[in-house]
Structure 1
């Protein structure tokens, strides 16, 4: 079975573009800190947890690398750009179908040789993945 990614329940990387997973990197989100320098005070006043009583986080980056042998006509880049590039989408990884991520996508396509096309999809995502059941009916449909 080829692992893939479903974007907004509209596109699947294997079924629509015959992309094969090469690698997946899910970065940790940066801590959203707020520190204040007070004149005459030793050290920095850390107010990071003051507003919500817990640590909050910035976005995280998810990088998905794929490859395919099925781009003989050279239209893959146009298809991916039209479908995904610059769009904010919710996506589900096949190896973690209970959860989804939401973020803005960017696509980079590179053809190093005539036979293989490499595709990198990068997502600037919210810090937490969400259970699919929280999203409502459109993402609960099976493919």
Structure 2
């Protein structure tokens, strides 16, 4: 877990309202790797536990600002579950844990030394566009996924 803000985003008047009963994943929608992760979570989340928003959206920008993160360098996905912010590899582990078995087994990454896994995460994040590519146009999600995306 990350302690980036002294008060909940729920009390921040600058954060647009959304359904707080669901988890929220904030992702870089220009990053092919990040968008693929969102499609993976969506495909394995039949109960609709998560909503999604792009880091570039008004909600994403407000959350990045709220947590004191750079609003132009989206080098971590944000996963917010039960009002708690998770970043970097902890964000990944939290998301897959919420998907249940067998995907929750991937949360084993949280048993590894945090410094090591976050260094690996940072290395991939820093080079994500070069390794995986970048969308030049906005990805058009399916109707089902679009229903769970907050613009």
**What band does the TM-score fall into relative to the shorter chain?**
under 0.3
Q: Choose 1 or 2 for highest CA Rg.
A: 1
Greater relative CO, 1 or 2 (CA 8 Å, sep 6+)? 2
The TM-score with structure 2 as length reference comes to 0.25
Larger proportion of strand:
1
Larger proportion of helix:
2
